[in-house]
Structure 1
């Protein structure tokens, strides 16, 4: 059996930055209040002509180049997203065509903010089995297009972006690669964070907007509890101690959530990768974007052990332990 190793990474962010000051007249919440509750000062936002596939394509190009392969060598494309360009087809098919890949399998993963970890787990199975050599995994979202800017408490949270990795076949004896992943779901509280209108149940009912609705208090508590338990579980099944982890990359939903999970796990501030302050919550893109930034600026080095954990609507949560 083979090992799944990260051979390349990439990320792409829209140029347009929206600060708390830009939102103040719209949401009637001052900068200091937003920062104290969320840790967010600004976020990247797509313009009307930009869609999820545009961001995903640019991130994929960088990841493929960094991996030292050509698009023709890719065996599968997985795109984690909640904001596809169209209801159908999936973003992954658009990426396959734009990259000029062979007619390989390409599919979207609909797993909210845990989407990247879900796609990572799926890709690992194909690599380990030996059927695929290179799998392109992308987390990309344009959540600002689902944001209700008449709701001050959700409109301050979200941003747009894309991150990508190439997962490649390594030898089983190689220390680098994915060590363990865990994923869980509990649909009982799915209405704590959902989009009421626009789907198959209520495709065009007046008064049901295709915008996010969130119970912030319930989501905060569930996120802290589940991200903590997911991280603890993946460490336990891997046989690793927290002290052996070099870097902690949590889903960037809210800085207060990140800090609470880190306290529960006893991770020091200097081991935590945070991007939420200047990028906001970009759903499935937050973890690969954070990984990209920490590798590019030299914090994460080859051989480092990285713990990732995420929580999202569904409710879904999971974690991964990898050696980069």
Structure 2
């Protein structure tokens, strides 16, 4: 058990929504920036925790796509919150499951005694990278931002019970944005393929890859952690696509103890898992003493799973 607990959270969901049939997707306004959304979620999380940014030792950014190449997004968010303080700031990126990775990293710092209070944020404006001609992805994504405040727990029974992460590089290019950074720097932008700067997904291949690797990955995690399905109050998976329900069925996860809100909220990229987690906390669906599992797949192909006792 790695000691940590969530003591505050906040989120930003754009007020503008569009419908594709019965499904709702949220779109950031043109006059709002990615950084506005992230800093807003952090401010709300700090207020909920009853602390200020000067009480934070570390700011962990967990967005799939950052605000700019340099500096890291965590540093830019910290600048919005204070020009002083003593916090360190850096980013953790496993694309859609970045929050799970960041929570795992944070729990290790807290348990080791290196830090007392950590602010973790996640969130993306995926809709600004979408290709309208690729209907599969254009009608899937929503924009959102979420932040949580973590502290070392005085209760030895609260914290991260176990975690696992693995990448299958054979599927690395099934989901990607190719343009930007060193692969396509500014000097060659004029001659680059515009499609490289838009999100590109081979949904069928990505789904087949996920279906091949997840059952064994979950089986190994449960064997290692010693957790039975009956020990888990709620599974909070990344809301990847409409295939989520069938995939959870395949994994044997009970329908009454899982979150499947793809139709209502879409794929929120890195904000997906923390948004659903904090929503479950706010509604009272889960609470102190419950064990929750955060899980999902991300570009890479990467799979992530973490068991947290609240």
TM-score calculated relative to the size of structure 2: 0.92
Distance in 2 between the 1:56 and 1:220 partners?
A: 29
What do the CA deviations read for 1:106-133 (whole angstroms, capped 9, x no partner)?
A: 1122211111111111111111110100
How many correspondences in the alignment? 304
Unaligned runs of 5+ in 1: 21-30, 36-40
* Alignment correspondent of 1:285: 271
Aligned equivalent of 2:235, options 233, 238, 248: 248
Would the aligned equivalents of 1:60 and 1:138 in 2 still touch at CA under 8 Å? yes
**Using the alignment, how far apart are the partners of 1:227 and 1:43 within structure 2?**
27
Q: Which residue of 2 aligns with 1:220?
A: 207
What TM-score, normalized by structure 1, do the two folds share?
Answer: 0.88
Residue 47 of structure 1 deviates from its aligned partner by 1.8
SS of the residue 1:42 aligns to: strand
CA distance 1:236–1:65, shift in 2 (3 Å): farther
Counterpart for residue 238 of structure 1? 225
Q: Decide whether aligned partners of structure 1 residues 185 and 167 sit closer, same or farther in structure 2, where only a CA change above 3 A counts.
A: same
Please list, as runs of the form range in 1=range in 2, the aligned pairs for 1:131-210 lying within 5 A after superposition. Answer: 131-171=114-154, 174-203=156-185, 204=189, 205-209=191-195, 210=197
Deviation by residue 1:235-258 (Cα, 9 ceiling, x = unmatched): 3222110011010100001132x2
Measured in 2, the distance between the counterparts of 1:233 and 1:157 equals 30
Residue 268 of structure 1 corresponds to 254
CA–CA distance in 2 between the matches of 1:282 and 1:164?
14
Q: For 2:124 and 2:214, locate their aligned partners in 1 and report how far apart those are by CA, in whole Å.
A: 21
Distance change (3 Å), C-alpha of 1:113 and 1:66? same
- d(CA) in 2 for partners of 1:120 and 1:143? 22
What CA distance in whole angstroms lies between the structure 2 residues aligned with 1:267 and 1:288?
Answer: 19
For residue 2 of structure 1, report the CA deviation from its aligned partner: 6.1
1:270–1:2 CA distance, 2 compared to 1 (3 A): closer
TM-superposed deviation, 1:65: 2.1
**Deviation string, structure 1 residues 75-127 (Cα, Å, up to 9, x no partner):** 10111112322222222112212222614211122211111111111111111
Correspondence for 1:48 among 14, 30, 38 = 30
CA distance in 1: counterparts of 2:158 and 2:40, whole angstroms: 26
Q: Which residue, 71, 83, 86 being the options, matches 2:68?
A: 86
1:178 and 1:242 map into 2 onto residues whose CA distance is 16
**Aligned with 2:49 (options 55, 67, 76):** 67
User: Residue 122 of structure 1: SS of its match in structure 2?
Assistant: helix
Give the deviation of 1:156 after TM superposition: 0.9
Displacement of 1:275 = 2.8
- Shift of residue 216, structure 1, vs aligned partner: 0.8
**Aligned to 1:273, what secondary structure does the other structure show?**
coil
Aligned pair 1:112/2:95, yes or no?
yes
The list of structure 1 runs, each at least 4 consecutive aligned residues, that deviate by more than 6 angstroms after superposition, is none
Which residue number corresponds to residue 57 of structure 1? 39
Offset, 1:227 = 4.2
8 Å Cα contact 2:2-2:160 kept in structure 1: no
What CA RMSD, in Å, does the superposition of the two structures yield over aligned residues?
1.8
Deviation, 1:309, is 0.8
More off after superposition, 143-152 vs 80-89: 80-89
For the Cα contact (< 8 Å) 1:182–1:233, is it kept in 2? no
On the 8 A contact 2:13/2:26 being kept in 1, the answer is yes
Distance 1:233 1:322 in 2: 17
Looking at structure 2, the residues matched to 223 and 165 of structure 1 have their Cα atoms a distance apart, in angstroms, of 28
Matches of 2:218 and 2:47, distance apart in 1 = 31
Determine the structure 1 residue equivalent to 2:245. 259
Could you tell me which runs of 5 or more consecutive residues in structure 2 were left unpaired when the two chains were aligned.
Answer: none
